[in-house]
Amino acid sequence: MIIKRPHDIQPSEITPRGVYEGRRRFMKLAAAASVLGAGGVLEPARAQEKTLGLPKLGNVAKSRFSTAEPLTAYKHITRYNNYYEFGTDKDDPAEYAGRLKVRPWTLAVEGEVAKPRTFGIEELLKFPLEERIYRLRCVEAWSMVIPWIGFEFNRLAKLVEPTSKAKFVEFVTAVQPDTMPGVHLPVLDWPYVEGLRIDEAMHPLTILAVGLYGEVLPNQNGAPLRLVVPWKYGFKSGKSLARIRFVGEQPKTAWEKANSHEYGFYSNVNPNVDHPRWSQKRERRIPDLFARRETLMFNGYGEQVASLYAGMDLKKFF
């Protein structure tokens, strides 16, 4: 057994505070669920939801890509979040993200494209919108079913016309030092950066979300615009996007920089590849905290996306 002195331990070897405190929060939810469940007062998943009363999104079509699984309640979706710019505890985003300045907001789309341009959020809200009910699987072994509202990323890409040099897409999130207390901490290398291979980004399941439960996105869920890639772990879905770049080389993502031994570029949901410190074979669907379910390959979207990885070693390219 090797015992390390404190000054020998690398930051990448320390369990992230968000994982530790998230589990503590999870246990609090579990205790509450046991009491409510015993009293028979847990609300059905599709019961009428009380939302935050944010602006409604009109002309939203239903999507053929949606799952028919029961929805996670709005209160859980908006109170149990990973958004490290506002803190590493699951409660922090709901508590502090109200400070986020979401207007005015622009999205720059640039790089290896024929027509780089900047979009205002009002322009993006005019894209044909769909409700996409997607599973969300988090690397910490919890999951939700969320009724996102958004549009396919490929619609945006077609307007800027990626060139043949564009092999990957880099997503860069906003940094607001005056509203985001987390960016003053060395948790990650800010701004948060994510990346997809271009065929992943152009796949019809990949969307840019602008709302959920019929309303615009709450700040803690990535307002006003976030990436959603349902067959990958949730941390691949960059929140509060400020810049999108089409690039020729594979971008270095935030979690790869922080700990490449635990977080790979692809980050596909693969129950056969354990996180080095815990198994990914089973998950808990919030708020059913005591019921574990088998984790599905590609989060259940294998029929649609498995062909993207034909011939790849998914244990090596994790």
pLDDT digits (tens, 9 = 90+) for 84-140: 999 999 999 999 999 999 999 999 999 999 999 999 999 999 999 999 999 999 999
E strands present in 22-141 = 60-62, 106-111, 117-120, 129-137
How far apart CA 113 and CA 281 sit, in angstroms, is: 40
| Residue 225 pLDDT exceeds 50 | yes
Q: How far is CA 167 from CA 114, 215, 295, 311, in A?
A: 14, 34, 30, 18
Backbone φ and ψ for 229, nearest 5 degrees, come out as -125, 95
How far apart CA 299 and CA 233 sit, in angstroms, is: 8
Average pLDDT score over residue span 191-208:
98
Residue 256 within any structural domain of the chain: yes
Domain count, the chain: 1
Sign of CA dihedral 262, 267, 273, 277: positive
Range of the domain at 297: 11-309
Considering the chain, what is the average pLDDT of its residues? 88
Backbone φ and ψ for 269, nearest 5 degrees, come out as -65, 110
| Residue 172 pLDDT exceeds 90 | yes
Residue 182 within any structural domain of the chain: yes
User: CA-based angle 16:177:184, to the nearest 5?
Assistant: 35
Q: What proportion of the chain, given as a percentage, has pLDDT over 70?
A: 85
- Of the candidates 174, 222, 224, 227, the residue with the CA atom closest to the CA atom of residue 203: 227
3-state secondary structure of 200: helix
Average pLDDT score over residue span 216-237:
98
Cα 71–chain centre separation: 17
80: confidence class by pLDDT, cuts 50, 70, 90: very high
Residue 317 within any structural domain of the chain: no
What's the pLDDT at 289? 77
Sign of CA dihedral 3, 274, 171, 149: negative
31: confidence class by pLDDT, cuts 50, 70, 90: very low
How far apart CA 89 and CA 243 sit, in angstroms, is: 26
| Residue 149 pLDDT exceeds 70 | yes
Region of poorest pLDDT, from 39-53, 62-76, 252-266: 39-53
What's the pLDDT at 48? 58
- Contact call for residues 131 and 61 (beta carbons, < 8 A): yes
| Residue 153 pLDDT exceeds 70 | yes
What's the pLDDT at 305? 98
- Residue 88 is classified by DSSP as S
How far apart CA 199 and CA 127 sit, in angstroms, is: 21
Amino acid residing at 82: N
3-state secondary structure of 60: strand
Token pair 């994790």 is found at 318
Helix or strand run (H / E) with residue 37: helix 17-38
Q: What is the largest CA-CA distance in the chain?
A: 61
Question: pLDDT of 53-72, one tens digit each?
Answer: 999 999 999 999 999 999 99
| Residue 11 pLDDT exceeds 50 | no
What's the pLDDT at 291? 87
Determine the length of the chain.
318
Residue 2 within any structural domain of the chain: no
| Residue 216 pLDDT exceeds 80 | yes
User: CA-based angle 173:229:91, to the nearest 5?
Assistant: 60
Q: How far is CA 220 from CA 79, 97, 100, in A?
A: 8, 5, 9
| Residue 12 pLDDT exceeds 70 | no
What's the pLDDT at 7? 37
Token pair 């009380």 is found at 50
How far apart CA 307 and CA 24 sit, in angstroms, is: 38
Residue 60 within any structural domain of the chain: yes
Radius of gyration of the chain (CA): 19
Rounded to two decimals, the pTM is: 0.87
| Residue 181 pLDDT exceeds 70 | yes
What's the pLDDT at 309? 98
Residue 126 within any structural domain of the chain: yes
How far apart CA 310 and CA 289 sit, in angstroms, is: 35
Q: What is the CATH number of the domain that holds 56?
A: 3.90.420.10
| Residue 8 pLDDT exceeds 90 | no
How far apart CA 130 and CA 211 sit, in angstroms, is: 10
Average pLDDT score over residue span 263-270:
97
290: confidence class by pLDDT, cuts 50, 70, 90: confident
Average pLDDT score over residue span 35-55:
56
Residue 315 within any structural domain of the chain: no
What's the pLDDT at 39? 35
4: confidence class by pLDDT, cuts 50, 70, 90: very low
Region of poorest pLDDT, from 5-19, 185-199, 276-290: 5-19
Residue 316 within any structural domain of the chain: no
